Chain A
């Protein structure tokens, strides 16, 4: 009886979208409702109003700046909550890890397995390329595709490579648990600060055209977008590193007093 009910429910849930599939507008349909109200305004005025050739960046960081501000805050909260959940010492019966002495994977020569990753290639070739590309993506966010989120994730990826290839504390740049959470909070802080500086200049919150800097009005939008993107980059990179730190912390918790 229960199975019949589940199957019936699934059939109903699956039929509704298929029945409505024809009612949905085609991709890129110029006559559909979402293409006729607000997006035409964005397409016609994005370059003129925001001085940003990439319309996606103009919409994300300029027209809908509030949205992105709260999104960055949500990312910070998510990282902090992951840290809170994972950094709690688990009860003995809930431990899932096996002790480090038994966990050491050895290759056929008897070395720990992580030494078989080619350190030279990872650190001397791939990591600098990732970092250079991250900076390129950050500063060209308003011209080509990319922006704060992607640049932050790329920087965090370079950090993860560093930690995973050399798992000791020999890295050039180590972010502790506390520092990474603080940095993750710094991202939304910079974003909000830009908005408040705009208010000091006499505009609304996050109205980049009223920034109190003596340059041309068209340039102000570029400067505002760039500073906000830097804030988003710091927030995203630090959030990902926070989650990494939380996982590391959990592993050490399970290891002692096994």
Chain B
């Protein structure tokens, strides 16, 4: 029951984060919030009992965020 509650809270946070990514005006903000998305997903994997997958998710989430930020820095196109 407690696991289900934690899972429900994490999933609700995920939905909120996803809406923030979709409706955010600034691209850089969207990228940073996307990093938070993979962070919350990592907790979700830990709750489900898969620490191996959570470890991979943590590392890959950081690397994909770095790629997004690199491209954003070079295109210099931020929505207003």
A interface with B by C-beta (< 8 Å): 27-28, 56, 96-98, 103, 105, 145-147, 149-150, 153-154, 156-157, 160, 164, 240, 243-244, 247, 251, 254
13 additional A-B pairs beyond A98-B75, A157-B66, beta carbons within 8 Å, are A27-B3, A97-B75, A145-B51, A145-B55, A146-B52, A150-B56, A150-B59, A153-B59, A153-B60, A157-B59, A160-B66, A244-B70, A247-B67
B interface with A by C-beta (< 8 Å): 3, 48-49, 51-52, 55-56, 59-60, 62-63, 66-67, 70-71, 73-77
Within 8 Å CB of A145, what residues of B? 51-52, 55
* Contact indicator A96/B70 (Cβ below 8 Å): no
Report the nearest B residue to A157, measured CB to CB.
Answer: B63
Whole-angstrom CA separation of A243 from B63 in the bound complex: 11
Q: Can you list 18 pairs linking A and B with CB atoms under 8 Å apart?
A: A27-B3, A56-B52, A97-B74, A145-B51, A145-B55, A147-B52, A150-B56, A150-B59, A153-B56, A153-B59, A156-B63, A157-B59, A243-B67, A244-B67, A244-B70, A247-B67, A251-B74, A254-B74
* Contact indicator B56/A103 (Cβ below 8 Å): no
